[in-house]
């Protein structure tokens, strides 16, 4: 009897209104390359967490705590958790 | 008559087998913080592209070309495009 390990994807993105210099730089580069239909680029991060198959606690709650405490900066970033 | 601008989310992730030192560092940090149910962390990037509302061409094909030419390193990364 083998159990599959549980995977959770954490999406971290900048809050609306927070400046995104990386996104601005990419938008400008795209315009120079001829992709001038793109008016805005916003960057974000993704972390895929793989849990032990035998994890008993609530994986979603645990992942949200990990986002809040470790992965995201709650001052400027928001996060979302998606079980897969 | 106002048109809504079109948004596309580009997901960039490391190919299977490519080392992810950032992910390993986070996994080790999580273990030290007591989150020892997490056995692996893989990191990735997300870019949200906003197109002009009047864009006529195929937005998905254009976004895939942007991923291939600008956002992703095809040697070590894969990408996926999601229209929203």
- Measured between alpha carbons, how far is residue A70 from residues A31, A35, B5, B31 in Å? 35, 36, 34, 12
Domain boundaries, chain B: 6-83
Asked if B43 lies within 8 A of A45 by C-beta distance, the reply is yes
**Tell me: the pLDDT tens digits for A21-40?**
999 999 999 999 999 999 99
Q: Please check whether residue A67 is in contact with residue A12, taking contact to mean a CB–CB distance below 8 angstroms.
A: yes
Confidence of residue A2 (pLDDT cuts 50, 70, 90): low
The class level of CATH for A6-83 reads alpha beta
Q: Mention every residue, 6+ apart, whose C-beta is less than 8 A from residue A21.
A: none
Chain A contact present for B32, CB below 8 A: no
Give the side-chain half-sphere CA count within 13 A for A3: 10
B4: which chain A residues are within 8 Å (Cβ-Cβ)?
Answer: none
**What is the pLDDT tens value at each position of chain B, 84 positions in all?**
457 789 999 999 999 999 999 999 999 999 999 999 999 999 999 999 999 988 777 899 999 999 999 999 999 999 999 987
Distance CA B33, CA B25 (A): 12
Please tell me the distance in Å from B9's CA to the nearest CA on chain A: 9
Nearest beta carbon to residue B38 from set A35, A41, A51: A51
């Amino acid at each position: 009897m083998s159990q599959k390990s549980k995977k959770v994807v954490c999406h971290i993105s900048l809050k609306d209104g927070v400046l995104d210099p990386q996104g601005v730089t990419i938008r400008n580069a795209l315009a120079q390359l001829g992709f001038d239909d793109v008016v805005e680029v916003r960057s974000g991060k993704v972390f895929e967490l793989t849990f032990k198959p035998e994890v008993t606690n609530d994986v979603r709650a645990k992942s949200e705590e990990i986002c809040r405490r470790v992965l995201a900066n709650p001052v400027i970033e928001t996060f979302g958790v998606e079980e897969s």
